[in-house]
Amino acid sequence: MAKKQIGIDALFQSSVPVADPTRRAVEAGDPDVAEPSGLEIQVTHLRPGRHQPRVTFDAASLRELTESIRVHGVLQPILVRRSSDGDGFFEIIAGERRWRAAQAAGLETVPARVVEIDDVNVRTVAMVENLQREDLNVLEEAEGYLDLLSDKISLDPDLSIYRDAERPHVGAIRLLRALNNRLAGNSKDDAVLRLEPLVAEVFHRVGRITWQSFVSHRLPLLSLPDELLDALRAGQITYSKARAIARLTPERLGGDEQRARSLRVELIERAKSGGLSVRALQSEVLKLIGDPEAGPEHVTERSSTTVESVRSFQRRGTSMLDVRFNDLIDRLETTNADNYGPARRTEIAAAIDALLRVL
Q: Residues with catalytic annotation? A: 96
Greatest alpha-carbon span in the chain: 72
Q: Which amino acid is at 213?
A: S
Q: What angle do CA 11, 233, 264 make, to 5 degrees?
A: 150
Is residue 302 within a helix (H) or strand (E), and if so which, with residue range?
helix 297-315
Handedness of CA 310, 316, 321, 322 (dihedral sign): positive
Q: What angle do CA 343, 348, 353 make, to 5 degrees?
A: 125
Cα-trace Rg, the chain: 23
What does the alpha-carbon distance between residue 76 and residue 7 come to, in Å, rounded to a whole number? 14
Q: Give percent helix, percent strand, percent coil of the chain, each to the nearest 5.
A: 60, 5, 30
Q: What angle do CA 107, 108, 109 make, to 5 degrees?
A: 95
Pair 333, 346: CB distance under 8 Å: no
What does the alpha-carbon distance between residue 39 and residue 21 come to, in Å, rounded to a whole number? 8
CA proximity to 100, closest of 60, 137, 47, 140: 47
What does the alpha-carbon distance between residue 37 and residue 287 come to, in Å, rounded to a whole number? 60
| Residue 272 backbone phi and psi in degrees, to 5 | -65, -35
What does the alpha-carbon distance between residue 323 and residue 316 come to, in Å, rounded to a whole number? 16
